[in-house]
Structure 1
Amino acid sequence: MKQAIVHVALLVKDYDEAIDFYVNKLKFELIEDSYQPEQDKRWVVVSPPGSDGVALLLARASKPEQMDFIGNQSGGRVFLFLNTDDFWRDYERMAAEGIRFVRPPSEQEYGTVAVFEDLYGNQWDLLQLNPDHPMATRGRTKP
């Protein structure tokens, strides 16, 4: 059996401001932006460049009770993990874009990491996993 998680829904206040942040500041790719008239919403999917894994579904909050969770979908914990092939390149670019880092870069046993906030305050790890980390080698053919 083979299965995969293809989307993670991320609550947003506004589709266009969220697209602007993810595409123009984080440099994600806009995969899809389709209007669904039967539900009066858009299906907006973004993904990190070069990724063939999970994509984010930017889901506009449609009920008052959903508004409280924008920016706090994980109770204040790091929610999403953005792995990169060049930590310092991406860290410097993101900092220059004005992305707020709430924990500075540090070397950990699994790799290099810093915590940043998205436009609503959700916390993310920017990380570069060490080459021997199990997730760094996942999907690669072993020699």
Structure 2
Amino acid sequence: MPVTIANTQLWVHDQDVALKFYTEQLGMAVRMDVTMPEMGDFRWLTVGPVGQPDVAIVLMAIPGEPVMDAATGEQVRDLMGKGFAGTIFLSTDDCHGTYEEFSSRGVEFVEKPEERPYGIDAGFRDPSGNHFRLTQVRADFGA
């Protein structure tokens, strides 16, 4: 039986800050925002692209004990600060236009759109340091 990807997860420092960034600056939709008191007020927060209702990004707060010890939490924070805790690849039909739109909403790019062998590509990070690639793939790439 085939499987599909429903969710992917990113660690975030602050779920409220992340929610604002992903919805207001990237234009994503909230998929779920549920707090479970019976699990110590664990918050399941997901967002996703408006045109892809079957895909969601879990914006996961870095847990403390007993789920994650302090040393591991610091390692995760360190990797996030360097942009190495994960990467989300976003595709667009107009990298320059999306770059301008996102920039006007306050997204700070670390790399402006550039021509690459596979298309046009730009890079930015979210408030927690997670790395994003914004790519317009050439129509003939991989053909």
Per the normalisation by structure 1, the TM-score is 0.81
Per chain length, whose mean CA-contact separation is higher, i.e. which structure has more relative contact order (CA < 8 Å, sep 6+)? Answer: 2
Q: Is 1:131 matched with 2:132? A: no
Aligned counterparts, 1:18-33, within 5 A: 18-33=18-33
Aligned counterparts, 1:73-92, within 5 A: 73=80, 76-77=83-84, 79-92=87-100
Number of corresponding residues: 135
SS of residue matched to 1:2: coil
SS of residue matched to 1:72: helix
Aligned counterparts, 1:45-124, within 5 A: 45-52=46-53, 54-63=55-64, 64=70, 65-70=72-77, 72-73=79-80, 76-77=83-84, 79-124=87-132
Rounded Cα–Cα distance in structure 2 between residues aligned with 1:43 and 1:119: 19
Structure with greater helix share of residues? 2
Greater Cα shift, 61-70 or 42-51: 61-70
SS of residue matched to 2:76: coil
Rounded Cα–Cα distance in structure 2 between residues aligned with 1:46 and 1:11: 13
Partner deviation per Cα, 1:84-135 (whole Å, 9 max, x = no partner): 122222100111222121122111122110011111122110111122446x
SS of residue matched to 1:120: coil
SS of residue matched to 2:33: strand
Runs of 4+ in 1 over 6 A off after TM superposition: none
Q: Give the match for residue 3 of structure 1.
A: 3
Rounded Cα–Cα distance in structure 2 between residues aligned with 1:53 and 1:32: 12
Q: Give the match for residue 141 of structure 1.
A: none
What displacement does 1:10 show? 0.9
Per the normalisation by structure 2, the TM-score is 0.81
Match of 2:96, as an amino acid? W
Segments of 5+ residues of structure 2 without an aligned counterpart are 65-69
Rounded Cα–Cα distance in structure 2 between residues aligned with 1:6 and 1:22: 18
Rounded Cα–Cα distance in structure 1 between residues aligned with 2:31 and 2:125: 22
Q: Give the match for residue 140 of structure 1.
A: none
Report percent identity of matched pairs.
Answer: 33
Rounded Cα–Cα distance in structure 2 between residues aligned with 1:49 and 1:71: 31
8 Å Cα contact 1:71-1:121 kept in structure 2: no
Aligned-residue Cα RMSD (Å) equals: 2.4
Match of 1:87, as an amino acid? C
